[in-house]
Chain A
Amino acid sequence: MNYYAYFVAVGVMLLGVVGIATSRSLVHAVVCLSVAQSGTYVLLIAVGFQYGGVAPIFGGQVGRTTAVVDPVVQALALTDIVVSAAVTSMLLALVIQIAKRHQAIDPDRLGRLEG
């Protein structure tokens, strides 16, 4: 039970990896990459969690000595989300170009290398 959240994180990530490996469409593969990356959000937030900790926003009842959850990993998760969005949009643009060039987005039908 102590490591439950960590295993959920790895499970989500592996689900995304399996999706990429068995993918029949590049759009599906890009979405699976986002799923795999979502596992890292779960891991980051799980690492910073503390039982009884509150959100790290000061004021009112939350003061310097109040137990808060780790804000550093939350900031990292925010960075993670921004990078994920950037990567997804870039990959989708590439998929559009591939679809235009080869009239196919099934990775198994895109075997030929072009120089």
Chain B
Amino acid sequence: MTRRIRLVVLVVGIVAFAAAMSLAFTGMPHFGGDIHAYRDAAVSGTYAHDTANVVSSINFDQRGFDTFGEETILFCTVVGVAALLRPVHRERRREVSDAGLVLESTGLLVYVLFPLTIVLGVNVVAHGAVTPGGGFQGGVILSTGIHLLYVGGRYSLLRKLRPLVWFQQGEALGVVLFGALGIAGAALGSALFANVIPQGQLSDFISSGTVPLFNIAVGMTVCSSVIVLLASFLDQTLAIRADAGNDSVRKPRSGFEEGSAS
């Protein structure tokens, strides 16, 4: 298919799609109206369990099984990326040096922001049931904080502070914890992922039953997943190089390196 035909097909498709969507939108409730049936159901369900953050309550209390699926997607992605990005045939891992110019101001900023970001991440995870935030958001903040070390130009420091094995296990542990909490709901309560812990007082730090525990499990998984994912990509960019013996026709003298890599 040439580029021209492809563009024609694209324009036809877009016109048809736009027409269908316009038709659908005119049949929808008006933007900003006050009829939200699901909102009302979710709000009363959240109030019954004394959870302040309705979004957290929906994610971890009312539709916990869906969130478990979502977490499994993340887990599988990490496994897939790790499988795709491992050093393959005719590649070798080289030692990465910390060379390169890093501005002193950047280094200072990293030293100041690194602890702040970690504390902020833990705070967002811990208060997921009370204030905006939760395991997903806090996990991403935590992993970003750890990668500030790389922005500061110290890949070796990042590698020391980030023992990858821990995070690979932490990720699995988070998923297992999430599933175990769900099964505990089935064993002690009425259904899978039921909120079996007493919910306490609305807006208290310790409130809303199992929601904070789910938040911690998800925070572990997300933080570890992002770290393992970024580690794979960083490794690919910095450490993995094609063997010089890749094009044996062009470079006949590379037999030595091929031998040492295997």
Contact = CB atoms under 8 A, between A and B. Distances in A.
Interface residues of B, number: 55
B47 A93 contact: no
Interface stretch (B58-66, B150-158, B174-182, B209-217): B58-66
B21 A48 contact: no
Contacts of A17: 10, 14
A110 interface: no
B119 interface: no
A111 B66 CA distance: 38
Given A58-B203, A89-B77, A4 B31 contact: yes
Contacts of A10: 18, 21
Given A6-B28, A70-B38, A92-B233, A59 B55 contact: no
A78 B55 contact: yes
Contact of B31 (A5, A75, A93): A5
Interface in B108-145: 130-132, 136
Chief secondary structure at chain A's binding surface: helix
Contacts of B14: 14, 17-18
Nearest to B84: A93
Chief secondary structure at chain B's binding surface: helix
A67 B34 contact: yes
A64 interface: yes
Contacts of A94: 84
A48 to B, nearest CB: 7
B31 A55 contact: no
Given A78-B59, A89-B229, A55 B132 contact: yes
* Most interface-central of B34, B54, B131 (chain A CB within 10 A): B54
Nearest to B242: A100
A47 B18 CA distance: 18
Interface residues of A, number: 49
Interface in B213-230: 222, 229
B32 A96 contact: no
Interface in B170-225: 202-203, 222
B7 A22 contact: yes
B70 A71 contact: no
A103 B31 CA distance: 48
30 contacts: A3-B25, A3-B26, A10-B21, A21-B7, A48-B39, A51-B34, A55-B132, A56-B53, A58-B46, A58-B51, A59-B52, A64-B43, A64-B47, A68-B54, A70-B36, A70-B38, A75-B55, A75-B58, A75-B59, A75-B63, A78-B59, A79-B67, A81-B136, A83-B70, A86-B73, A86-B77, A92-B233, A96-B236, A97-B84, A97-B85
Interface of A: 2-7, 10, 14, 17-18, 21-22, 46-51, 55-59, 64, 67-75, 78-79, 81-83, 86-87, 89-90, 92-94, 96-97, 100, 108
